[in-house]
Amino acid sequence: MKLKNTAKLIAAFGIAFATIAPVSADFKEDARKVFADNAPSVIGVRGLLKVEASMNGKPAGNQDKPLHTNGVVIADGLVAVAYRTLKPDVASSVGNRPGLKIETDLSELKLVDASGEEYDAKLVLHDEDLGLAFVAIDPKGETAKDFKVKVVDISKDITVQHLDELVSIGRMSETLRSEARVTIGTVAAIVSRPRTIYICQGVAMSNPVFTSAGEFVGLTVSIKSTGAAPVVIPAKYIRKVLDQAKAKQAELAK
C-alpha cells in the first residue's frame, strides 16, 4: 500500500516537474533574446579619478585611479550611469578622521561601444538623490559623428512584483574585450517610500534591467539610504531628469 502511494506521489511530482521545466526553459530563451536585442545599447564608460588628500590644510598625498563602469544609451549620444561608479565616496572608505579632507576630480571620460570603439565624453548632469549620472558624447571629439548606438525605450512604467525574474545586462572591461554579460536577477524587496525602488538579488551596479518581454524596468544604482548595495531605480525617475540632461548635452555643442 505504501509503495503504491509512493508511486502515485512520484507520478504527481513528475507531472508538476514537467509543467515547471518548460517555463524555466522559455524564460531563458526569452532572456537570451532580450540580451541580444539590448546588449549593443549597453556600453562601457571609462575615466580617471584624481584623488587629492589634505590633513589640516596640508597636502597628504594624491592618486590617479582608473575607473570602469557601464551604462545604457537612453537618448541620442546620452548614457545613463550609476553616479557612484563615476564618483565613489572615497572619504567614507578611509574613515572619518579629524582634519582630513579628500577631493576628487573626474577626467578623461570615454564611452566604449560594443565593437571597442572609443568616444570622448563629458559628464553633463548628476543627481545624488537618485544615484544617477548622465554622460554624453563630446560633439567636438574626433569620432563623435560615428557614434551609432540604438537607444533603449524608457518611456514605459513597468511594475514588477516580489520574486519576479529580471534580465540584467552589463559590459566587461576592455581587458576582457568589452564583452557583454547577462545575469538573471530576482526581486527580493520593494521599497515604496520616499520613492519606489526594487531590491534585486543577482544584479550588478550600473546595469539596465529588463523583463523577459524586453521592457526596460530601470537602472541599478547606489543611493544614500541603501548604502553600497545596488538597487533598481525605475524608468520614471530617469525620465524626470532626462530633459535637464538633454539641455546640458546641447550646451556641449556651443
Residue 64 belongs to domain with CATH number = 2.40.10.120
Domain assignment present for residue 213? The answer is yes
Q: Is the pTM of this model over 0.75?
A: yes
Domain assignment present for residue 1? The answer is no
Domain assignment present for residue 25? The answer is no
- Domains: count for the chain: 1
**Residue with the three cell numbers 570603439:** 117
CB-based contacts of 75, cutoff 8 Å, min separation 6: 151, 242, 245, 246, 249
For residue 48, give its domain range. Answer: 37-246
pLDDT at 196: 94
Residue 206 predicted with pLDDT over 60: yes
Determine the average pLDDT of the residues in 114-131.
94
pLDDT at 92: 62
pLDDT at 94: 59
Which of 1-5, 118-122, 138-142, 211-215 is least confident? 1-5
Cell of 191: 521599497
Domain assignment present for residue 159? The answer is yes
CA separation, residue 36 to residues 32, 39, 175, 181, 203 (Å)? 6, 6, 22, 10, 18
Domain assignment present for residue 17? The answer is no
pLDDT at 205: 95
pLDDT at 90: 63
What is the chain's mean pLDDT, rounded?
A: 86
Residue 2 predicted with pLDDT over 60: no
What would the pLDDT profile of 38-87 be if each residue is shown by its tens digit?
999 999 999 999 887 777 777 777 888 899 999 999 999 999 999 999 98
Domain assignment present for residue 19? The answer is no
Do 106 and 124 form a contact (C-beta atoms < 8 A)?
A: no
Determine the average pLDDT of the residues in 226-246.
92
Domain assignment present for residue 132? The answer is yes
